[in-house]
A and B are shown apart, each in its own frame.
Chain A
Amino acid sequence: MIKIVGAKLADGRVIDLDIDNQVIVKIENSARNLSNGAVDGSSKLLIPGLVDMHTHLREPGREDSETVLTGSRAAVAGGFTAVSTMANTNPVADNAGVVEQIYRLGKEAGLVDVNPIGAVTNGLNGEKLSEMGAMADSIAKVRIFSDDGKCVSDPLIMRRALEYVKTFNGIIAQHAQEPRLTVNAQMNEGSVSARIGLPGWPAIAEEAIIARDILLAEHVQSRLHICHVTTAGGVELIRWAKQRGIQVTAEVTPHHLLLTDDLVENYDPIYKVNPPLRTQKDVMALREGLAEGIIDIVATDHAPHPSEDKDCEFHAGAFGMVGLETALSVVVKTMVETGLMSWPDLIDRMSIAPAKIAGYATQGREIEVGMPANFILINPDQRWTVDKNKLKSKSKNTPFNGLELPVVVTDVFHNGEHVMKNGEILNMKAGSNGR
């Protein structure tokens, strides 16, 4: 049994909480009596564990940049208790064998729930549907399907995919990027790209696909999720779709809530990401959209790359940024400190809503007796400075190096296990979480 004393909930109550056998067994107003062996929750906020619906853990295939184990450590350090891993591994997660392998690696790491996302098409090549049913029936119980990194650009394939996943209440997570409008694209198309001479990635290449897929989702009455929305126009389209009652959900990344395309002016590939950093106007629209709930969730698009893929000229650089360990802090900085969202809003966008969309029953639940013990302790008043060399992720490609950010995650409880204690990730043996 684990006892937590004196932690504050998002509603302001200060409580003591007991965990036993993976569930919360007791919550009562705090007696503020720190008995032997109890976890000191004073001056800390206790919130549900964060859920990331969009992570790249690179295993199998690119274990030099991240593994399920190192990615799990990064997730825990960032306050996550569940991550969904994108299918663009090598081999691609387009069959039951690969998704089960990833699922097992996650179990062995034993730090967070690792839920593989299945590919929509074989080899992510956009031509032929993968065996989504087999992946859904596997032990990984895949419900989210995505060709992320690539867009399912063929409208007929997209239509079929949306229809097909209805049999097991699946959802298609679309990487919205019209490929013909983004040939060789390197950064947002606009004033900055014109000046610095990099091929542009226009906002409408994203919006055209969002618009098309919204209409497809309406037509076939299926669930659509839009990955990493980056444009003001995209937010407007999703607002329109929701008003019409179309089953669309959307995510925004922490980096798109903070960074803008003028950072690319020094040609440092650390700012190279797909979809690209946009303008201040887009950033403001994304923040408003998230606050309003038009954008349902925050997802990291954690994309680890080895240093040689960033220590180079811009064109040669890889797309992507690591984000698991900075996500909560960046969202607090951009949404809570600015007064756009409350802590309960943040808990919804980073835990409750993603768990609901993904169908993770043990995640994103209320802090109540009988609920699975997936929650974290954070110090909301402490600030820290990002040091890329101290990241738990195997890759160091963070755009926030040297930036001072609010909120420190101190403790993580995953399925009742105290997996991070005062910032220290405990050495979990393979399979020790008992399932």
Chain B
Amino acid sequence: MGILLSGSDIDRAIKRISHEIIEHNQGVSNLVLMGIPTRGAYLAERICKFITEIEGAVGCGVLDITLHRDDLRLRPPKPILPTKMPPGGIEGKDLVLVDDVLFSGRTIRAALDAIGELGRPKSVQLAVLVDRGHRELPIRADFVGKNIPTSISESVKVHLREYDSEDLVELIK
């Protein structure tokens, strides 16, 4: 078990991702964020707050992907979590999806389907705190906090103070 990112590393990564998002989208006028529960939703809120401070107000929502998972029939059913639309909706917007760890890409595949139920954004981008590799689908992140090469048998655990009482990313072998 090893610490991959400390609390201040996470802060810096969020700030850098926020700047990159503003840069890439040339401002925030058409921008909305949606976090994938549980931790992706808190990360999206943090990014939203920082962008709002440095550039201007941006809408933030929550996107539950449970009903679109492709592994439903392999595990016990999970409760559905609330999906919250960002103020102003997503129709025609540049939508940035936010999640904590990018791994197989299956969650993001489900998220793209879930977005399809809600409307038709102009573009969909992806921001993740950690990219640990081992993709099983042709999906990549536009904004990455840290790339961490891992073995398939390891796992990456993100702790956020809103949910886990501290900010920390650790590698569990």
Direct A/B contact, Cβ within 8 angstroms: no
**Footprint of A on B, CB under 8 Å?**
none
**Footprint of B on A, CB under 8 Å?**
none
